[in-house]
Structure 1
Amino acid sequence: METHVRVLIVGGGAVGCGIAYHLAKAGWQPLLVERDELTAGSTWHAAGLLPLFNMGYATSHIHDHSVRMYAGLEAETGLNPGFTRCGNLRMAQTDARMDEYMLYSATAETVGIEHEFLTPAQIAERWPLVRTDDLKGALFHPTDGYINPADVTQAMAKGARMAGASVQRKVQVNGYRWTGTEWVVTCERMVERGGNLVPSGEMFEIGAEHVVTATGNHAQRTARLLGIKIPAIPVEHQYIVTEPDPALVAWRKAGNPEHPVLRDADARWYVREERGGWILGPYEDGAPARFPYAVPDSFRADLFALDLERIEREYMSMIHRIPSSEQVGLKDDFNGPICYTPDGNPLVGPAPGLRNMWLAEGFSFGITAAGGTGHYLTQMMTEGEAEIDMASLDPRRFGSWMTTEYATRKNEEAYSHVFILHHPDEERPACRPLRTSPAYDRQKARGAQFGQVNGWERPNYFGPVDAPEGFDRDARSFRRGGWWRYAKDEAEAIRGAAGLIDATAFAKHVVSGPGAAAFLDGFTTNTLPKVGRINLTYALTDAGTVRSEYTIVRRGADGFYLVSAGAWADYDRDHLLKSAEDFMAAGGDPVGVHDVTTQWGVFALAGPASRDILNRLIRDPQPETALSNSRFPWLSAREIELGMVPVLALRVAYTGELGWELHHPIEMQNHLFDRLIEAGEPSGMKLVGARAQNWLRQEKSYRAFGTELGRDATPLEAGLDRFVDLFKDFRGKQAMQQTGIRSRCVTVLIDGPPDADPWGREGLFHDGARVGRLTSGGYSVAFGKQIGMGYVRPDLAAPGTRLKLRMFRDLWDAEVVEDSPHDPRNARIRADG
């Protein structure tokens, strides 16, 4: 075995072998080690389904790549992976479910996934064993199907070997040590004794420039060895296999094709044919998490006892949907561990706090994702970034505040939510509230309906004060939900008077020290602000795309306060710390990076009356001019006193109105909240949530990280040239310039359906061809119609260009408008008083 490799992959399931396959194709010649046999983890008992359906853009690309890749494995390797392309029929019992499918269709169309809609009559004609009298319709993927998990894993392993990879079985990793230039990985041979796998005592070390962990159910052991948190914990998943169904046997003997994989999402199960019978796989309530700390040494290719009572409802539903299955007995059953994460998405990318350590953990659909994950992770490792934005799967999206209990409960919830209606305004209830700002109870008493951002409770909108339990859940919809009118009132309040937004969840970092200015100058694209001033700027990837967005406040010659997206606090901290370390290692002066997110609360006050409201509270020797343009101009920061509260006030407003962000000691938040409520009452100030704010920022064409801004677009493509100083050097500059302009970010106004707004997943069309997609969508109170932002071909980005937008399978008129269609000259945000 090699003692030094470029990359070591730990874990020989489908995901690990998929990564080995692609890294070997890229010329990195990986070594893969597996503690047992290939496929010995969850891979061996997986049902092998290949569902293309996914509401996420990155995950859709991953699944699509896998399905395309698997189709060619036999020709390449000579091994048949057992791919049956029978299609997938996803049925709907309700209009809401059909709305979900139509929203998914918009995402699938932008990815290029083939699909069609079927009526109940069409389903009955094609597959008469399926009961359709209570269906609204279905979504059909003709290229979907299933595969033999063990065979596809072995085929990828062989393909990896053919390209130069090595695979070693019965090797357990017991430790990792970073030397500053490489990982030293302590390994031990494992041997079979009495049917058990036990350590042999033969120890050795492997040096590796890079390590990828794909340890599946053993992720918690991996986390302890690395000294990090990996919220990937298995949950029981059971499925049953029936005896042959005479009606199905007769159907096939008559020369009819195999049924597609059947999914009754409202009944929460999948069913497919299996040797004349059926496989039923339910996603029921009450499935428990297992092995929250470690998989027992005695657990190998083992299963748990079946719990039929837990899946009785789903089993009876199968009989309802396929009546011929009622008289069929059970032949086999499986109940094994499948890894989940708190949001159901896998963890793919750099490990937090570690160099050259890559995670590929938490795959609940590992067979479907294995090939695509290998493809895009290989791009990240070998090219600097993937061609698609993989931030939604980044391991650093989960904060270090997360505990084992939190991950366990949220993973159980993720399992039970596989087949729920995935509303774009969905908010899952488990483990909430947990992270709350001090004013949480005050806001809740005023009707706040909260969403969760990185664990923080943040108001989405303010409903009626006496709203019953479950009000927010019932208000959700794929169209204009019950919350819509409240968000509209809030948006109109900011445009017409004033609104107060709790922005405490913002990530906040202090960067200071003798080298702080030089470090940030090379770390970000924009010119650094002068003392007391503010700049918006971007940190780029090595591929020249947008890594993070920061509002930088310069508080002194060597002191900076950075504000960034609350959902990405740990993501930003990790990048800041590693980049500062690199700067100092290259000879730069000392730089300190400190996360102060939990020390500072933030209220954003915006609207034409915001200055009047603050004037009622400010304590200043010259209060009449304290907030004037002469003393407090736009894009400046000052320390002020609002009553008894010292505040770092930033004259910025994400809503595009006159306004300030009020950064305050978090322990004084309740006092400040009460004073602001009192001062705002004479001006008609309303409490405002995140949904109205999102609409308002689109009226100003403000790009948002995670939607318009990401690791698949440069700031020049995003139309942010004014925040890029090409006269200085900064990380990613050359790659950004070499990339050129592949597409451009635009704002569009839409004449859409009367009861719905776009969500930011829809395709844009010109002359019948798809030319781009939305990344954000909503409603404009300024224009009284739908609004969206997205990317189109550069030749179609000029204001006045007429496009079409796909919503609910129809095409609607859309027009590209100038940036910042509301108040394009920023007269309102600069207003003096």
Structure 2
Amino acid sequence: MKTHVKALVVGGGAVGNGIAYHLAKAGWDTMLVERDELTSGSTWHAAGLLPLFNMSYATTHIHKYSVDFYKSLEAETGLNAGFAVVGNLRMAQHQERMDEYMLYSSVAETAGVYHEFLTPAQMKERWPLLNTSDLVGALYHPQDGYINPADVTQAMAKGARQHGATIERKVQVDGYRWTGSEWIVSCTRMIEKGGMLVPGEDKFEITAEHVVTATGNHAQRTARLLGVKIPAIPVEHQFIVTEPDPMLQEFRKNNPEHPVLRDADAKWYVREERGGWILGPYERNAPARFLYDVPESFRADLFPLDLERIEAEYMSMIHRLPSSETVGLKDDFNGPICYTPDGNPLVGPVPGLRNMWIAEGFSFGITAAGGTGHYLAQLMTQGEAEIDMASLDPRRYGQWMTTEYAARKNEECYEHVFILHHPDEEREACRPLRTAPAYDRQKEMGAQFGQVNGWDRPNYYGPKDAPASFDHDSRSFRRGAWWPYAVAEAEAVRNTVGIIDATAFTKHLVRGPGATAFLDHFTCNTLPKVGRINLTYALTETGTTRTEYTIVRLKENEYYIISAGAWTSYDSDYLLKSAEDFMGNGGGHIDIHDVTTQWGVYALAGPNARALLKEIVKDANPDTVLSNKRFPWLSCRDIELGMCPVRAIRVAYTGELGWELHYPIEFGRYLWDLIWSVGEKHGLKGVGARAQNWLRQEKSYRAFGTELGRDATPLEAGLDRFVDLKKEFHGKQAMLDTGVRFKCVTVLIDGPGDTDPWGKEALLKDGVKVGRLTSGGYSVAFGKQIGMGYVPVELAEVGTRLKVKMLLQEWDVEVVEDSPFDPSNARIRIDG
């Protein structure tokens, strides 16, 4: 048995074998160890469905790769993976579900996934066993279906061996130790004893340069061994298998197999199984299991059934397939399937650790196994994947996350598998949790909150004394009940003044003798002078955009840097590791501190912002302290507002005269009340995240996670003015070698009267997809829809006419100049 490898994969399910295959194919000396038999975890009882895509752009690419890859395995390995390409029929009982499918269609089109829409009559003609009387339509994917989980796993395992990988069964990992250059992995040979799998006396070590864990239900044990948090906890999933259905058998004599049926409004999937049916429901109150560990006695085992819990779903299957009413139950299963709080798996580097990677929390592990292996192997061997994997990055959860939070959110996520996934969806479990000081004040004002990184922050301010008919929780694929309130908020910022609670911003203090040299090489823009600020970017190894930072230079070697609130752990880990590398290569000492929870932030923006602040600023010359001469645009000053010390930064993400007011967190309620004590006479209005998102698009301000990501360089994002090519910085040559493959543009849209783009839609030229939107919304300045996205370079010229696909129709789009609202920034620089 080998004792030294380039990469060790821990876990022998579908995901682990997919990773081993692709690492070995990439040329890495790879070993996989599994504590039991291959497929002995959730893989063995999975239904093997292969839905081609979902609402996530990255996950859609992963699923699409898997489907194509599985179809090729038999030719390579000689093993039939058991792929039944029967299609997938997503049925809809009402128009709102069809609205969801129309948005699904946009995502599918951007990813190149073929699909079509069917009417109830067309469904009934093809599949007469279906009751379509209460359906309004369906979305059909003829190219996917289902697969045998054990067969596809064994095929990937054989392929991995053919590429040189070693696979060892009955090997349990008991510990990990980092030497500074490689991992020492402590292992025990497992043995059978009395029908149980127990540790034997054979203990040994494996040395690996890289380790990947794909431990499925055992993720909490993995987390303890590594000393980290992994919010992957299983939830019970029941499914039942019926006896053969005589009417189905008769139908199949002259017809192909039914597609996988998904009645999302009834919360189930159904597929054929040996002349009968498999029903897989996603019901309410399915409990999380194994919060801390998997019992030693639990192998390829199941939980006791709770059929009463799925009675409603079973009855709805009978309604949809009346022929199943008289068919008996043949088999039933209740097994663990891992989830994460947002439903996306955790794929990527482990925070705080070197060369340690995880692939955990797969609720659709069979679907994702091949694609995860492909893109994770790219991350590990090439530095980045060809798609932006940030939405799956394990560092999207911070140290604030607890076991209780993960368990409750994972239960909620399971229940929401088939609940309508509105783009403005906000789930309620575990909220409020992290709140800014003025949370209660905002709630009294009618704020409706959304959650980001555990923080509750206002999405919009609804009516305080709303009539009973007003539903604050209403969601929509079109303009929801919140829309007119967001319009009013955006108009206030443009015409008077608005206040935005931006406390969730990620904030780091970087200081020390090496701070300046480190940040100069770490980011692509010129560093600001003391008292000034700059917008800049950290690049990946491949020259794409890793993170966006606002850098405030407090002293010669002391910097306050601000980044997106959703990515605190992501940014912190990258900063710390990069600084360690810098110091390890002879750079001066650097101290880095995450100060996110020490500072709150109010963003005050609008034509009346200066007049409002003049009333509460304490200075010898209050009339001039906020003037352009004493406090110019893109500068930072310590000021006093009433009794609150404030680090004020003259910048506004909305493109208006404004300041970010960073205050010590304990002053938050006092400062909020102080601002409002004089605010109303200046037209002050509370503003939420939705209006802010619209306003920043009017200024073509790119956002990390939408326009900015690890699949486009700063030059492709149109950020040339923030790239100093006269200096050397990390990723510079790779960025230049990549060139400009496409460009980020801002577009104005003559769209439908009741719908705005969500930033997932395809851009078309002469009926052919040429690009995609990454952001979308409504512009109060132009009175029409607005969006940002990527198109080929030749289509990025101002005035180019395109089409956007919304609600299955094509709408006129025009590429406009960057910052179409106030392109000269006159409103931002106005003096007073």
Asked if TM exceeds 0.5, the reply is: yes
Write the distance in 1 (CA, Å) between the matches of 2:287 and 2:420: 21
The answer on whether the counterparts of 2:512 and 2:558 sit within 8 Å (CA) in structure 1 is yes
1:435 and 2:408 are equivalent in the alignment: no
Write the distance in 1 (CA, Å) between the matches of 2:797 and 2:635: 32
1:90 alignment partner in structure 2:
90
2:649 alignment partner in structure 1:
650
1:717 alignment partner in structure 2:
716
1:506 alignment partner in structure 2:
505
1:655-688 per-position Cα deviation (integer Å, ceiling 9, x unaligned) = 0000000000110110100010112111111000
AA at the equivalent of 1:429: E
Q: Counterparts of 1:233-248 in structure 2 under 5 Å?
A: 233-248=233-248
1:174 and 2:209 are equivalent in the alignment: no
1:206 alignment partner in structure 2:
206
Cα deviation, residue 56, structure 1? 0.3
Write the distance in 1 (CA, Å) between the matches of 2:32 and 2:571: 31
For this pair of structures, how many residues does the alignment match?
A: 832
Cα deviation, residue 472, structure 1? 5.9
The answer on whether the counterparts of 1:449 and 1:472 sit within 8 Å (CA) in structure 2 is no
Q: Counterparts of 1:300-311 in structure 2 under 5 Å?
A: 300-311=299-310
The answer on whether the counterparts of 2:462 and 2:472 sit within 8 Å (CA) in structure 1 is no
1:706-764 per-position Cα deviation (integer Å, ceiling 9, x unaligned) = 00000000000000001001111111111000000111000000000000000000000
1:677 and 2:676 are equivalent in the alignment: yes
The alpha-carbon distance between structure 1 residues 497 and 473, as it changes in their structure 2 partners (threshold 3 A), is closer
Q: Counterparts of 1:38-117 in structure 2 under 5 Å?
A: 38-117=38-117
1:749 alignment partner in structure 2:
748
The alpha-carbon distance between structure 1 residues 116 and 510, as it changes in their structure 2 partners (threshold 3 A), is same
2:628 alignment partner in structure 1:
629
Cα deviation, residue 466, structure 1? 2.6
Cα deviation, residue 193, structure 1? 1.1
2:30 alignment partner in structure 1:
30
2:698 alignment partner in structure 1:
699
1:616 alignment partner in structure 2:
615
The answer on whether the counterparts of 2:448 and 2:459 sit within 8 Å (CA) in structure 1 is yes
The answer on whether the counterparts of 1:472 and 1:483 sit within 8 Å (CA) in structure 2 is no
1:220 alignment partner in structure 2:
220
The alpha-carbon distance between structure 1 residues 123 and 54, as it changes in their structure 2 partners (threshold 3 A), is same
The answer on whether the counterparts of 2:544 and 2:710 sit within 8 Å (CA) in structure 1 is yes
The answer on whether the counterparts of 2:11 and 2:33 sit within 8 Å (CA) in structure 1 is yes
Write the distance in 1 (CA, Å) between the matches of 2:187 and 2:176: 9
The alpha-carbon distance between structure 1 residues 149 and 524, as it changes in their structure 2 partners (threshold 3 A), is same
Q: Counterparts of 1:756-767 in structure 2 under 5 Å?
A: 756-767=755-766
1:71 aligned counterpart, secondary structure: helix
% identical equivalent positions: 76
1:449-472 per-position Cα deviation (integer Å, ceiling 9, x unaligned) = 000010000100000113479966
Cα deviation, residue 158, structure 1? 0.1
AA at the equivalent of 2:542: A
AA at the equivalent of 1:651: R
Write the distance in 2 (CA, Å) between the matches of 1:464 and 1:128: 49
Write the distance in 1 (CA, Å) between the matches of 2:282 and 2:465: 35
Write the distance in 1 (CA, Å) between the matches of 2:305 and 2:277: 17
1:327 aligned counterpart, secondary structure: coil
Write the distance in 2 (CA, Å) between the matches of 1:373 and 1:54: 15
Q: Counterparts of 1:398-417 in structure 2 under 5 Å?
A: 398-417=397-416
2:301 aligned counterpart, secondary structure: coil
2:158 aligned counterpart, secondary structure: helix
Write the distance in 1 (CA, Å) between the matches of 2:638 and 2:174: 52
2:355 alignment partner in structure 1:
356
1:728 alignment partner in structure 2:
727
Cα deviation, residue 475, structure 1? 2.7
Normalised to the residue count of structure 2, the TM-score between the two structures is 0.99
2:297 alignment partner in structure 1:
298
- Runs of 4+ aligned structure 1 residues displaced above 2 Å come to 466-475
1:16-49 per-position Cα deviation (integer Å, ceiling 9, x unaligned) = 0000111111000210000000000000000011
The answer on whether the counterparts of 1:29 and 1:163 sit within 8 Å (CA) in structure 2 is no
Write the distance in 2 (CA, Å) between the matches of 1:472 and 1:487: 15
Write the distance in 1 (CA, Å) between the matches of 2:369 and 2:729: 35
AA at the equivalent of 2:486: A
The answer on whether the counterparts of 2:459 and 2:689 sit within 8 Å (CA) in structure 1 is yes
AA at the equivalent of 1:666: I
1:794 alignment partner in structure 2:
793
Write the distance in 2 (CA, Å) between the matches of 1:383 and 1:471: 52
2:40 aligned counterpart, secondary structure: coil
Normalised to the residue count of structure 1, the TM-score between the two structures is 0.99
Write the distance in 2 (CA, Å) between the matches of 1:471 and 1:114: 39
1:90 aligned counterpart, secondary structure: strand
Indicate the RMSD between aligned Cα atoms, in angstroms.
Answer: 0.8
1:778 and 2:740 are equivalent in the alignment: no
Q: Counterparts of 1:355-434 in structure 2 under 5 Å?
A: 355-434=354-433
1:354 aligned counterpart, secondary structure: coil
Write the distance in 2 (CA, Å) between the matches of 1:651 and 1:534: 9
1:828 aligned counterpart, secondary structure: helix
Cα deviation, residue 600, structure 1? 0.4
The answer on whether the counterparts of 1:604 and 1:662 sit within 8 Å (CA) in structure 2 is yes
Write the distance in 2 (CA, Å) between the matches of 1:367 and 1:219: 17
1:206-244 per-position Cα deviation (integer Å, ceiling 9, x unaligned) = 110000000000000000000000000000001000001
Write the distance in 1 (CA, Å) between the matches of 2:808 and 2:114: 14
Cα deviation, residue 165, structure 1? 0.4
The answer on whether the counterparts of 2:531 and 2:554 sit within 8 Å (CA) in structure 1 is yes
The answer on whether the counterparts of 2:472 and 2:481 sit within 8 Å (CA) in structure 1 is no
Write the distance in 2 (CA, Å) between the matches of 1:468 and 1:570: 41
1:321 alignment partner in structure 2:
320
Write the distance in 2 (CA, Å) between the matches of 1:36 and 1:504: 47
AA at the equivalent of 1:339: C
1:116-174 per-position Cα deviation (integer Å, ceiling 9, x unaligned) = 00000000000000000100100000011000000000000000000010000000000
Write the distance in 2 (CA, Å) between the matches of 1:556 and 1:571: 26
Cα deviation, residue 474, structure 1? 3.8
1:14 alignment partner in structure 2:
14
Q: Counterparts of 1:482-501 in structure 2 under 5 Å?
A: 482-501=481-500
2:582 alignment partner in structure 1:
583
The alpha-carbon distance between structure 1 residues 745 and 624, as it changes in their structure 2 partners (threshold 3 A), is same
Structure 1 unaligned regions, length at least 5: none
Write the distance in 1 (CA, Å) between the matches of 2:765 and 2:774: 17
The answer on whether the counterparts of 1:491 and 1:781 sit within 8 Å (CA) in structure 2 is yes
2:155 alignment partner in structure 1:
155
2:205 aligned counterpart, secondary structure: strand
1:516-572 per-position Cα deviation (integer Å, ceiling 9, x unaligned) = 000000000000000000000000110100100000000000100000000001100
2:335 alignment partner in structure 1:
336
The answer on whether the counterparts of 1:499 and 1:687 sit within 8 Å (CA) in structure 2 is yes
The answer on whether the counterparts of 2:53 and 2:64 sit within 8 Å (CA) in structure 1 is no
Cα deviation, residue 53, structure 1? 3.4
Cα deviation, residue 473, structure 1? 5.5
2:465 alignment partner in structure 1:
466
Write the distance in 2 (CA, Å) between the matches of 1:653 and 1:314: 50
1:56-87 per-position Cα deviation (integer Å, ceiling 9, x unaligned) = 00000000000000001111101111100000
Write the distance in 1 (CA, Å) between the matches of 2:460 and 2:728: 42
